[in-house]
């Protein structure tokens, strides 16, 4: 397992895996805020799924617990299941990044995400899946095979949405994107590249989605009003970053 280390600068606490590469960040005065832009975009399933009691979200890779904390505070109707292989990351998320202990709305499993998505126990179990799996080298996601993404597809309900953090300027990007597209029948959108070459992909399962971009903008404004997520550029970014989606979101 990689060593877990920390740094602080300008009121921001950073998570590292024994190198200078950033694995996550938290604004110390606002620990429930999602600080990094790509992490914010990992919540984009909210554009397409209404939260409701009994809803389940799987988070593969814990990091600083940014997504888990945000969902625990702002999405009280849902239960989040976090899958994290490294026990030191779980301890760090709770002790250094103020992730809450497990309760009826938060479950943390120390397990390999590749094994988790292959379990029949979780087939058709989750409404949304968030994938952010990186190791100390950060040369691409730690799980990237077609088998893995097919497992992500299988644990989703219909309708269901997966968000994945990819590293755009590396050979792993095309490998992951091709496998996601094959597993999800090419029903994939990309956000524009954000800081540090991160690109978040959104993959869809279930009925075809056809919606006016003006309605996506309205939904983004609702999310901002309820949670404070900076969603104002989401619709514009998705509209211009994806071919054949200019006039109507159809996927």
Does the structure show a pLDDT above 60 at 109? yes
Tell whether omega for the bond before 159 is within 30 degrees of 0, i.e. cis.
yes
Q: Which two tokens stand for residue 40?
A: 């914010």
CB 84 within 8 A of CB 62: yes
pLDDT of residue 24: 93
Q: Which helix (H) or strand (E) holds 129?
A: strand 126-131
Burial class of 103 by CB neighbour count within 10 A (0 to 12, 13 to 18, 19+): exposed
Q: How confident is the model at residue 169 (pLDDT cuts 50, 70, 90)?
A: confident
Q: What's the whole-model pTM score? A: 0.96
Residue 136 clears pLDDT 80, i.e. is over it? no
Average pLDDT over the chain reads: 95
| 168 pLDDT tier (thresholds 50, 70, 90) | confident
Q: What is the DSSP letter of 155?
A: H
Residue 9: pLDDT above 60? yes
Ordered structural domains, the chain, with CATH: 33-237 (3.40.50.150)
For position 140, what pLDDT does the model report?
A: 66
The secondary structure of 160-196 as a DSSP string is: EEEEEEEETTSTHHHHHHHHHHHHTTT-EEEPPP-GG
């Amino acid at each position: 397992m990689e060593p877990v280390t920390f740094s602080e600068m300008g009121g921001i606490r950073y998570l590292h895996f024994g190198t200078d590469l950033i694995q996550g960040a938290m604004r110390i005065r606002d620990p429930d805020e999602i600080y990094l832009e790509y992490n914010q975009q990992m919540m984009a399933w909210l554009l397409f799924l209404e939260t409701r009691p009994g809803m389940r979200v799987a988070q593969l890779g814990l990091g600083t617990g940014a997504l888990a904390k945000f969902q625990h505070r702002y999405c009280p109707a849902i239960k989040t299941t976090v899958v994290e292989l490294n026990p030191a990351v779980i301890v760090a998320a709770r002790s250094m990044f103020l992730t809450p202990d497990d309760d009826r709305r938060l479950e943390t499993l120390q397990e390999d995400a590749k094994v988790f998505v292959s379990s029949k126990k979780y087939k058709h179990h989750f409404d949304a899946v968030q994938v952010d799996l990186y190791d100390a080298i950060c040369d691409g996601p730690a799980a990237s095979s077609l088998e893995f993404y097919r497992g992500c597809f299988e644990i989703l309900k219909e309708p269901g949405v997966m968000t994945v953090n990819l590293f755009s300027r590396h050979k792993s990007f095309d490998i992951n994107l091709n496998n996601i597209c094959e597993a999800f029948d090419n029903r994939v959108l990309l956000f524009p590249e954000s800081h540090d070459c991160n690109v978040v992909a959104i993959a869809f399962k279930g009925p075809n989605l056809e919606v006016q971009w003006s309605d996506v903008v309205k939904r983004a404004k609702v999310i901002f009003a309820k949670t404070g997520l900076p969603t104002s550029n989401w619709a514009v970014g998705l509209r211009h970053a994806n071919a054949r989606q200019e006039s109507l979101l159809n996927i």
